Amino acid sequence: MLLTVTEMVIVGLCLLVFLILLAFFLGYMERKVAAFMELRLGPNRVGPKGTLQIIADTVKLLFKEGFTPDAADKFLFNLAPGIIITTALLAVAPIAYARGFQIWDINIGVLYISSVSSMAVIGILMAGWSSSNKYSLIGAMRCGAQIVSYELSIGLSLISIVVLTGSLSLNDIVESQANGWWIFKGHIPVMIAFVIFVVASTAEINRAPFDLVEADQELTGGFNTEYAGMKFAMFLMAEYINLFVVSAVAATIFLGGWMPFHIGGMTGFNHIMDYIPSSIWFFGKTLFIIFIIMQFRWTFPRLRIDQLLNLEWKYLLPISMVNVLLVTLMAIMGWHF
């Protein structure tokens, strides 16, 4: 069924509004999680329980001067935030939010998400290079090395589930978990793949402890040092949308997406679980993973650049390569449930 152009625009706008609200919510959540972990209260003045604080901050950013440095490459400097936010928004399209609710049921969903989200590196490199700031440049170069490296592990851990499912479509992957989520069905290799996916995607979206691209304390903000106002807000929003995307993908691939908690063979129990709406399952799982990734940020200090690359090339990549072999063996022999 082909959508008309009007319908497409309406759906697109709805999605955009949803994502902006989501970014607001994640911003609020992050500050509350941070406050909870740091023995303080967090935002509590603007609105009930500080919920409107993030709106106030956005308004402040809107009214700030959109400053462009004199020595900057003005075209690329202004283009970079657009590219970063576009790649973040594109990756949202094929995610299955609830039973039968998917904006774009593309048959290569996994491949699409991993290829689109890897384009973000272009935007960051562009931002760092065009700022004509040495700190930005170092941040951008770090970003190139970091994202390109960690994509390998992400790809390999996604492949392990694709091998088990036999499909690249996110919908098929969710359907295949009707008798149990992959993290339970796939024994230890899938758990390893899950852990590697969460660690590598934290690095992929440049969040602490892998936030070497920004590294406030070393590079005074890295690639976004020279950005202010709405352009900076776009980086911030892209970060939260990326956080949502990787958590949603992890929830979909490993934790069954919108699929309720099912145990193969127990029909009665499965019916009770079906009573909880599928969207709640999806968002519950996604928020759980977001919560874990947020805890990383407020627990760990930052790695050094060589330690970061060592972690990927010496540990995560070899482990995931062996892991993919194990999963493949498991899929061929039918050892999984």
Judged by the rule CB under 8 A, the positions of this chain that interact with another protein are 34, 37-40, 134-135, 138, 141-142, 208-209, 211-212, 215-220, 298-307
Minimum distance between the CB of residue 220 and another protein, rounded to whole angstroms? 6
Minimum distance between the CB of residue 305 and another protein, rounded to whole angstroms? 6
Which CB, 28 or 281, lies closer to another protein?
28
Check if the beta carbon of residue 51 is closer than 8 Å to that of residue 31: no
Which CB, 211 or 251, lies closer to another protein?
211
Which CB, 138 or 192, lies closer to another protein?
138
**Cα(24)–Cα(3) distance, rounded to whole angstroms?**
29
**Cα(12)–Cα(290) distance, rounded to whole angstroms?**
24
Phi first, then psi, for residue 98 (nearest 5°) are -155, 180
Q: What is the DSSP letter of 316?
A: I
Which CB, 209 or 229, lies closer to another protein?
209
Q: Counting beta carbons within 10 angstroms of the beta carbon of residue 233, is it exposed (0 to 12), middle (13 to 18) or buried (19 or more)?
A: buried
Minimum distance between the CB of residue 138 and another protein, rounded to whole angstroms? 7
Per-residue exposure over 139-155, b if at least 16 CB sit within 10 Å of its own CB, e if not: bbbbbebbbebbbbbbb
Q: Which residue has the tokens 């709640």?
A: 280
Which CB, 304 or 314, lies closer to another protein?
304
Minimum distance between the CB of residue 249 and another protein, rounded to whole angstroms? 25
Q: Which residue has the tokens 């699929």?
A: 259
Minimum distance between the CB of residue 182 and another protein, rounded to whole angstroms? 29
Which CB, 213 or 290, lies closer to another protein?
213
**Cα(264)–Cα(286) distance, rounded to whole angstroms?**
23
Minimum distance between the CB of residue 294 and another protein, rounded to whole angstroms? 12
